[in-house]
Amino acid sequence: MKVSFANPAAPAKGIAVVFAAEGGKWTSTAAALDKKLKGALKRAAKAADFDGKKKQTMTVLAPGGSSLDRVLCVGVGKPADITAESMAETGGVIYAALKGTGKSAEMHVDDVPRSKLKAADIAANLAYGANLRAYAFEKYKGKEKRDKKPGIDTLSVKCDGSAAARSAYGDLAKVAEGVYYTRDLVSEPANILYPAEFAKRLKRDLTKLGVKVTVLGEAQMKKLGMGSLLSVGDGSARESQMVVMEWNGLPPSKRKNSKPISFIGKGVCFDTGGISLKPAAGMDDMKWDMGGAGVVSGLMMALAGRKAKCHVIGAVGLVENMPDGKATRPGDIVKSMSGQTIEILNTDAEGRLVLCDVLHYVNTKFKPEFMVNLATLTGAIIISLGAERAGMFSNDDKLSDKIFAAGETIGERVWRFPLGEEYDRDLDTAAADMRNIGSGRGAGSIIAAQFLKRFVGDTPWAHLDIAGVTWSKKDTPVVPRGGTAFGVRLLERFVADNYE
């Protein structure tokens, strides 16, 4: 969808979008248009009980004699409650309401009295939300079978301070590009997006933005001693990969001694469970078991795209977990890059085996200020939190507080779970330094986090279990059904608020 910004002008033709605050308080453009339409908007509002509540919409067909086709009236809620995120969500609602009504629309944004946001900021975030909602993954559909309700192709936003709105939207649009990139990766079928192809795309797409991309194959990882990660891919015909991405947007004078921040993603491009085979029902969902790697990739695109003033490392371990004569068996013992040995009692607890080697690699090579890893790690987190929040585990209160605050601000929310010695002991085993699962069914998500904690040392670290939020079966204001890219906007805001 193409978005443009211009100075205010009276709605003249096509589809016009105007606004009202709660209590039926129309913005100046909406009031002027209602007068021009001889009270048509207010009459329709009375009949439809439209009074400007947050995300409320009402479509009015333009009366005879008007050059307009229709008017979409949208509620912004109480002025004091208007935030950037609420306006982004409203923008997504607007896009959904416009879908199928035409190819273009004009959005007329005015200052809302007693709102903390100026018209330009409101306009930029409305457009941002519409952009996020406009995503669709239809590349494998024939032209005649694509969505029968086509979306808006062009959105023209009219507001005071249009230059400021355009500038603000520029950075937001780069974040949206990162979100789109992640959604594309997560939506791809596993026969198309296998580890080597994933790595190839990152090398191609991120290098263009100034990101240094290094791809390590199995021979290189074997030399590094990554026996844990490599064991997951033993049963696959596809070679495992690790991709390290580095963006340094600091001024040259500050680059030499800069301590990077780092993000690590689980990239299991397909997960059958290995020898510990999953049930057939629902296994097709396992194409998005690389969601953590997808988020790290989209985050790096967003940060590099908007030229973020920070030094960032992104690293992803890319594997395919398949059953085969060469596959890792339950009871096998492998040696991780850290030197710690792992007894693998369940080959379907494979994500932690990938992450532990990548975490150790990043920690020892780059000595980062902190590490944040993301993974569709456990089904247990879905039982705990459903599809509303990601689970967060951390060894550092300050780091976890910052991530939590960013999530509350932009609507990608997390909830912190406990860690502790009593959980850690459940990983002990007589045969090796640790086993990869606990002794029973309880605290599955916590036990997985405790496993990862054994590989981070004293470095501040947070683990985000995104199994419940990576894929959505329903539309939400800024997320259409399918891959959500949960984590890209969260961590982009976390970085912007704290590390630039």
Count of alpha carbons within 13 angstroms of residue 74, beta-carbon side: 27
CA angle 78, 18, 171 (to 5 degrees): 80
Residue of 133, 158, 352, 402 marked active site: 352
Residue 410 neighbours by CB distance under 10 Å: 18
User: Which amino acid is it at 282?
Assistant: G
209: closest CA among 163, 178, 252? Answer: 178
352 in catalytic set: yes
User: Which amino acid is it at 194?
Assistant: Y
Residue of 278, 309, 335, 416 marked active site: 278
Residue whose pair of structure tokens reads 């932690």 in the numeric block: 352
> What Å distances lie between residue 46 and 16, 165, 227, 262, 298, CA to CA?
20, 33, 68, 54, 45
Enumerate the active-site residues. 278, 352
